[in-house]
Amino acid sequence: AVELVTKGEANYVMKGLLGTSDLLRAVLNKEANLRTNNLLSHVMVYDVKSYDKLLLLTDGGMVPYPELKDKIGILKNAVTVTKALEIDMPKVAPICAVEVINPSMQATLDAAALSAMNKRGQIKGCIIDGPLGLDNAISKEAAHHKGIVSDVAGEVDILLVPNIEAGNFLGKSMTYFAGAESAGVIVGAKCPVVLVSRADSAKSKLYSIALGSILG
């Protein structure tokens, strides 16, 4: 599959029954010529019935414990996906356990730095505000009760999680508790890498193929 993309006979790669690590090993092989200077990261797109628009989640499948510089790359990849979905100025919430900056919680420091970098034009193409809790990122009412004034609260398009465990748990919660349909893709290579789980529904697999086609 990777060879077909390299030859220009296919537009993107999709994971089948093989392991993710085996697929990525082929994608990252220098001879495949699919590597770029960009960080590879995983982006999920969810259609949650209780939320009024598509919701992106990153990174719950690729970068285990991203540092600040990694989160910048992860965000840029997610914004690439929103542009393909015709979301022109996505609203980003770096979600944390608390909504205030706590020197003992690195995720809150990273969230504040990302927000400041966005306001100073260092991260473009989106609106970032954080740290935000999950509740006030997706609910204006929750933000109001906590006295949070934010352009992102209740209108978030991209949820940036602090680590892979948080993203994995949150994504599976949306699927199994909220009945969300989803599409998943790895971004950052010269072509998208469609990543599906064997447990995904047929509809989610179809949506992932469609997302790969849009990005490819």
Residue type, 49: K
- Per-domain residue ranges of the chain: 38-190
Select the more confidently predicted residue: 200 or 171. Answer: 171
Amino acid (one-letter) located at 134: L
Q: What pTM value is reported for the model?
A: 0.93
pLDDT tens-place string over residues 74-83: 999 999 999 9
Burial of 38 (0-12, 13-18, 19+ CB in 10 A): middle
Q: Are 95 and 58 in contact (CB under 8 A)?
A: no
Overall average pLDDT of the 141-168 stretch: 96
Q: How far apart are CA 43 and CA 45, in angstroms?
A: 7
Could you say which DSSP state residue 40 is in?
Answer: P
Kindly report which listed range (42-51, 56-65, 127-136, 193-202) carries the lowest average pLDDT score: 193-202
CATH entry 3.40.718.10 includes domain 38-190: yes
Q: Cβ(71)–Cβ(78) under 8 Å?
A: no
